[in-house]
Structure 1
Amino acid sequence: MQPLVTGHRDHAPRRPALQRVPDPTPLFWATKAVSTALGEAASDFSIHVMPPVVAVLCGFAAFVVALTIQLTRHRYRPWAYWLTVAMVGVFGTMAADVVHVVLGVPYLLSTAFYALVLATVFVLWRRVEGTLSVHAVTTPRRELFYWAAVVATFAMGTALGDLTAYSLGLGYVTSIALFAVVIVVPALGYRRWSWNAVFSFWFAYVVTRPLGASVADWLGKPTADGGLGIGGGWVTLVFALVMALLVGVMYVPISRRRSLQDDLA
C-alpha cells in the first residue's frame, strides 16, 4: 500500500531562523549608550540606599529574571531585550565595583581580568559557532554566548571608566572626552578603512560602557568628587525615562512591518 504523502517533510519549506538580538542601527547605539549610563547610576544609587550585599544580590536576581524572560522570547522583542541590557548594566557595574571595593583589586588589574574574560568568551564563541556576528544570533546557544560577551563588556567597561577617572586621575569630564574620541575610531575604521564589521561592532560596544558610565558619574556624583551633584536617584530616573522612550520608538517600525504584511496577505 502506497503512503498517502511521500516525502512531505523533506519538501516542506523551512521557515528562516529568527534573529534574537537587534541590528546595530543608530537607534540601537543611542539606546545602548543610555543603558550604560542608566546601569551606572542605578548601581550607585542602590548601593547607597541599601546594604551593598543586599544590593548586589538584588541586582543579580533582577538580571537572572530579565535574562530568563529574554531567552524565552525566541526572537527579538525590544522590551525584553533592552530590559535585559539594563539589568546587565546594573549587575555588571556591581560586579566590577565588588572586585575593587570588597576584594581590593586595583582597577588596572580588574580591567585586565575582565578583558581576559571577554577574550575567552570570544575565542570559545568563535570556535564553537564559527562567527561572532550579531546577525547570526539565531539559536539559544549563540544567544548565551552573546549575553556572556555582553556581561563581560559591561564589567570591563566599568572598570576601565573607573581606571581613567580615579586611578589615572583624569576625572569624569576628561574621561568622557577620551572615550568619545575613542568610540569614533571603529566607526571610521569600518566606513573608511574597510575594517571587519564584527570587530568594529564589538570595539564600539565595549567603549560605549565607559563612555556612558563616565557621563552618569559626572552628572550624579557630588561636586566635591568632580560631578555636578544631581544625585544618583534623579540620574537613574531620567535615563530610565529616556530609555523607555527609545524602546517605545522601536515598536513603530515593527508595527508598520506587521501592517504591511497583513496588507499583502
Structure 2
Amino acid sequence: MIMTAIEDGSELNRVPDVAIDFWLIKIMAVTMGETAADYLAVNLGLGLTGTSLIMAVVLIVALALQFAQNRYVPWAYWLAVVLISIVGTLVADNLVDNFGVRLETTTIIFSVALALTFIAWYVSEKTLSIHTIFTTRREIFYWLAILFTFSLGTTAGDLVAERFDMGYLATGLIFGAVVAAVALAWFFLGLNGILAFWLAYILTRPLGASFGDLLAQPVEYGGMGFGTTFTSLTFLGCIVVIVLYMTLKSLIDEDEQALLD
C-alpha cells in the first residue's frame, strides 16, 4: 500500500534535508559558535561562567521555539543550531578551563555521552535517521546528539591543535581530509548513509572550529588576527542571508504547492 506524505512523516519532518546548503551553513554555524563563545566571554567581559549561564537560558528559549514547530522552519531550526553550537563549546570549555579536566578526558567523556545517546535513540526508535524526526521524543534525541557532537568536536579539535601542537591550519586540513574520506566512502564504497551523516556532522565541528580559531586568534598564537568580533559578525551575516533565502524559498514552494492542490 502506498503511504501518503503525512502518514510516512515526510511532510512533518522537523529538520532539513541534507544538501550543499545544509553543510555550508552548518560549518559556518560551528565556526561562529567557536568565535562567538570567546567574544562573549572575553571581549564583552562576561566571563566563562556568566556566558555559559546566559547562553544556556537563550538556548532553552530557542529550543522551545523549535519544538513548537510541527515541521521544518528554517529560522527556528538554524537559530537553535547556532546557539547549541555556542553552548556546546562553552560546556567543553568549562570542563577544561574551570574544572581542570584534561582534553583527552573530555574527548572520551563526550564520545561516550554521544555513543550512549545514539544507543538510547536506536533502542527507543529503531532508527537514527534524520529524515523521520517527526515526534517530540525523536527530536529530543536529535538535539541531545547535536549538543554532544559540538562539545566532542570542540575538545577533539583543541586536543589536536593545542595539546598535539598541530596548529589551527593543520588541524583544519586534517579534519577536512577525514570528512572528504567519509564522503568518498559514502559515494563510492557504499558506506551507510546514516553513519556517514553522523560521522560528517561530528567531524565538521572541529573542522569549522579550527578555521574559526585560525581567523580569530592573534598572529602570535598561530591565527590570522582578524579577532572574534569581525569573525563572528562575518559568519553571522552569512548565516542570516542563507537562512533568509531558505525561508523565502520555503514560502514560495508552499505557495506553488497550494496552487497545485
TM score, norm. by length of structure 1? 0.93
Cα shift at 1:92? 0.4
1:123-175 CA-partner distances (Å, limit 9, x unpaired)? 00000000000001110000000000000000000001100110000000101
Q: What code does the residue aligned with 1:69 have?
A: L
Match of 1:154 in 2: 150
- List gaps (5 residues or longer) in structure 2: none
- For residue 14 of structure 1, report the CA deviation from its aligned partner: 9.2
Match of 2:23 in 1: 29
RMSD: 1.2
Letter in 1 for 2:256: L
What are the equivalent positions in structure 2 for 1:92-111 lying under 5 Å apart? 92-111=88-107
- In structure 2, relative to structure 1, the CA distance for the partners of 1:124 and 1:171 (3 Å cut) is same
How far apart are the structure 2 equivalents of 1:253 and 1:135?
20
Give matches, 1:38-49, under 5 Å. Answer: 38-48=32-42, 49=44
User: Residue 257 in 1 paired to residue 244 in 2?
Assistant: no
Distance 2:219 2:134 in 1: 46
Structure 1 residue 247 corresponds to structure 2 residue 238: no
Normalising by the residue count of structure 2, what TM-score does the alignment of the two structures yield? 0.94
Deviation at 1:114?
0.2
- Which of the residues 184, 201, 204 maps onto 1:205? 201
Q: Look up the equivalent residue of 1:81 and give its one-letter code.
A: Y
SS at match of 1:228: coil
C-alpha contact (below 8 Å) 2:49/2:94 kept by paired residues: no
- 2:134 corresponds, among 135, 138, 146, to 138
Q: For the structure 1 residues 14 and 221, does the alpha-carbon distance in structure 2 shift closer, same or farther, using more than 3 Å as the test?
A: closer
* CA distance in structure 2 between the aligned counterparts of 1:22 and 1:194, rounded to whole angstroms: 23
Partner Cα separation in structure 2 for residue 93 and residue 61 of structure 1: 15
Unaligned segments of structure 1, at least 5 residues = 1-12
Q: CA deviation at 1:74?
A: 1.8
Q: Which has the larger Rg? A: 1
Tell me which stretches of 4 or more aligned residues in structure 1 moved more than 2 Å.
13-17
What's the offset of the Cα at 1:53? 1.5
Distance 1:29 1:228 in 2: 24
Aligned to 2:68: 72
The answer on 1:163 being equivalent to 2:159 is yes
Question: Could you list the per-position Cα deviations for residues 11-36 of structure 1 after superposition, in whole angstroms to 9, with x for gaps in the alignment?
Answer: xx994330011111111000100000
